[in-house]
Amino acid sequence: MKNITKSAALKKIKELEEYINKIDKPLELEDYNFRINSDGWKKFTKNDQDYLVNSEEDVWELINCKNQELNGEQLFTWDAAIREAKKVGKRVPTDEELTEVLKTKEDIPNALLAGYRAVAGGFNYSGSSANVWSSSQYSSTTAWSRTLYSGYSTPTRTTFAKGNGFSLRCLKD
C-alpha cells in the first residue's frame, strides 16, 4: 500500500464526502427560468411585440409584453443554453433527469408560458405554451425538450431543432 500523508488522506476523505453528498441529493429544478444580463442588447419588434437579442443572435428576451409577467423572459437556442449555463457553473438537466423531476406542470415552479422562437425567426405560442431544453442531444441538429401547454397537466417529451429558442430551467446546486 502506498504511503500518504495524513493531510492528503483527509483531503481525499473530504472529496469523497462531497461526492457522496452530491449523488445522494435529490434532483430539483431551480425556482425560476435561467437569465443572463441583457444590457446592451439590440431591440427589435416583430408582430407588435418588442424583443431584445444578444450579439450572437441566439438569445432573445421578451420586453414590453401585454402580459406583464412575461417581461424579461429569455429564449435560448440549445447551444446558447448549454454555453451560458456552463459560464456560471449551472447545469442543464439531461433528458433522463427531466423525466425524473418533471411529471406534471406543478413540478416546475413559477412556470411562465413564454412560447418559443422558431428557427425561421417567428415567435409562437406566447401565453399558451413553454418549451424547456434538456442537455441531451437526439442528433447533431436536434435535442430533447419538454413542452408545457396551458390546457394540459403533464409535459410532453419532444425533440426540436437546436436553433429554436426555448426557456431554460437549470438544476438546483
**Strand arrangement of the beta sheet that strand 74-76 belongs to:** 42-46, 49-53, 59-63, 74-76
pLDDT tens-digit map of 92-133: 999 999 999 999 989 999 999 999 999 999 999 999 999 999
Distance between CA atoms of 131 and 2, rounded to whole angstroms? 52
Predicted pLDDT of residue 24: 66
Predicted pLDDT of residue 1: 53
The 3-class SS string of the chain reads CCCCCHHHHHHHHHHHHHHHHHHHCCCCECCCCCCCCCCCCEEEEECCEEEEECCCCCEEEEECCCCHHHCCCEEECHHHHHHHHHHCCCCCCCHHHHHHHCCCHHHCCCCCCCEEECCCCCEECCCCEEEEEEEEECCCCEEEEEEEECCCCCCEEEEEECCCEEECCCECC
pLDDT tens-digit map of 9-31: 888 888 887 777 666 678 999 99
Predicted pLDDT of residue 134: 98
Predicted pLDDT of residue 120: 95
Predicted pLDDT of residue 18: 73
Share of the chain above pLDDT 90, in %: 83
